[in-house]
A and B are shown apart, each in its own frame.
Chain A
Amino acid sequence: MKKVFVLALMLIGAYTNGFAQELYVFTEPASNMPTKSIGVRITNEGMFNNPGFVSRTIPEVMIGFNKNLMMHAQGFMSDMDGKYRLEGGSLYAKYRFLSLDEAQSHFRASAFGRISTSRRPTYSRDINLEGDNSGVQGGLIFTQLLHKLALSSTLGYAHAFENYDRQIAGMPQPKNIFSYSLSSGYLVLPVVYKDYKQPNFNVYLELLGKTDPSSGQSYLDIAPAIQMILNSTTRIDLGYRFQAAGNMDNRYTKNMYLLRAEFNFFNVLK
């Protein structure tokens, strides 16, 4: 009887191991790039708020320097201030300082920092260092894998640089913002792995929140997303975020879709 139980446990282990997903769509996990690898992303964001539809394109390159240090460089282009133009760029670095790996679970923790530039004037207290504001950000990411479920939490604090020369009279001039998120991911397909060619299909649900400490304005968004992974190298994301609660005015990301393609090149750096 005991043997049967142990055998059953081993089988469950074999079939659940490696099935959780943590390649979140709206946030970054504690660790995503292998050493000496390059990832290339192209992201399209569409926003339906201010005043009509506007869109942004974000090309991005990611590099894994070693098992702990990863870096991303992004460019931002949009038609948000009239004609389609280059609006800025961002550098993001992430250092993984804790890895506790077990057969069917792991816990990772990383510290991250970001510096961004943008030539856009500000219309909202919502500091968004991926296109809308110039500034710096620092924070922590904790990612936990529990069998099929992967959970991740990000805590960040951002400071926006002054941009008096581009400031529009009467518009808010945000200084600082707290950001927090809770992400969950679940792999739906394949049920049984056979080879690298099988497509993976994942579903995500993320909660994305920010609070402006000076005004007390805040919001919380709900962001569902789906993802396909092809040939174990290419990833396609489609997500939508909408506001569940909040009192922050003139937000761009309030109702936004995100469409992304990512291509990974493993072990290409010397």
Chain B
Amino acid sequence: MKAIKIFSIIMLFFAANVSAQQISSADLQVTGLTCSMCSNATQKSLETLNFISSVKPDLNKNIFVLTFKKDANINLDLVRKKVQDAGFSVGGLTANFNFNQVKIDDKGQAVVDGNVYRFVNAKSKTLNGTVKASIVDKNFISGAAFKKQAATANSDAYASGTGVVNGKKNTYLPFSSFLR
């Protein structure tokens, strides 16, 4: 893995899914868990997703390490929904994105297979290989963290959940994909 600092991504999804080549694994932090029964319920809920091959819990830190099936369509919004179904919230999701010569423009925006990623802290550079990035969209971080991020993100798109890409207005929350 490249030793780059963690990026913050806001992803603008034209398609709902990302292919497995783009995301290999993710660390999912769940907030609001109060007991092993709650963690167990969350684990069982996540295991119903057919694109996840394994869920490994760290019960002390309330982190679930997700590995994704090869060539499956990964829908991170469904991951968020399954956590909420169990009664809890996503406090953070840091994923290993596999990029192949992806150019980030001077606005911090990159297009991969029709998905638009917005990088909070990367501009005008090319990404290659595995990059660890945290998703900082609303409902993928805690409410307090979102407020803080919205104040510093300097992007109307981040707070409103809509954005203009190639002249077209798109709604892209809940998972739009701002990466850090």
Contacts and interface: CB of A to CB of B under 8 A. Distances in A.
Contacts of A237: none
Interface stretch (A15-23, A55-63, A156-164): A15-23
Contacts of B91: 101-103
Nearest to B45: A267
A34 B37 CA distance: 10
B35 interface: yes
* Band of interface residues on A: 35 or more
Given A17-B62, A21-B35, A101 B45 contact: no
Given A14-B60, A67-B84, A102-B142, A23 B35 contact: yes
Interface in B20-43: 29, 31-43
Interface stretch (A128-136, A168-176, A214-222, A227-235): A227-235
B36 A103 contact: no
A193 B59 contact: yes
A232 B31 contact: no
A101 B60 contact: no
A211 interface: no
B164 interface: no
A17 B91 CA distance: 12
A184 interface: no
B166 interface: no
A36 B44 CA distance: 11
B82 to A, nearest CB: 9
A36 B38 CA distance: 14
Given A34-B85, A103-B31, A264 B37 contact: yes
Interface string A183-211: 00001000011111010101000000000
B89 A99 contact: yes
B40 A200 contact: no
A15 B43 CA distance: 20
Nearest to B47: A267
A34 B45 contact: yes
Contacts of B86: 34-35, 67
B88 interface: yes
B44 A192 contact: no
Contacts, number: 111
Contacts of B143: 100-102
B37 A232 contact: yes
Contacts of B35: 18, 21, 23, 187, 200, 202, 229, 232
Interface of A is mostly: loop
Interface string A224-261: 00000100110100000000000000000000000000
A223 interface: no
Nearest to A23: B35
A12 to B, nearest CB: 12
Contacts of A202: 35
A74 interface: no
B114 interface: no
Interface in B128-154: 142-144
A167 interface: no
B61 A17 contact: yes
B36 A200 contact: yes
Given A34-B41, A266-B41, A21 B34 contact: yes
Contact of A192 (B31, B40, B43, B60): B60
Sorted nearest first, the 5 A-B pairs with minimum C-beta distance are A193-B59, A35-B85, A101-B89, A232-B40, A101-B32
Interface of B: 29, 31-45, 47-48, 57, 59-62, 84-89, 91, 142-144
18 contacts: A18-B33, A18-B62, A22-B34, A31-B87, A34-B41, A34-B44, A36-B45, A101-B31, A101-B91, A102-B144, A106-B32, A193-B36, A194-B60, A195-B59, A200-B35, A232-B35, A267-B45, A267-B48
Given A101-B32, A232-B36, A266-B44, 16 more contacts: A17-B60, A18-B38, A18-B39, A34-B87, A35-B87, A36-B45, A36-B85, A37-B41, A67-B85, A99-B89, A102-B142, A102-B144, A103-B29, A232-B35, A232-B39, A266-B45
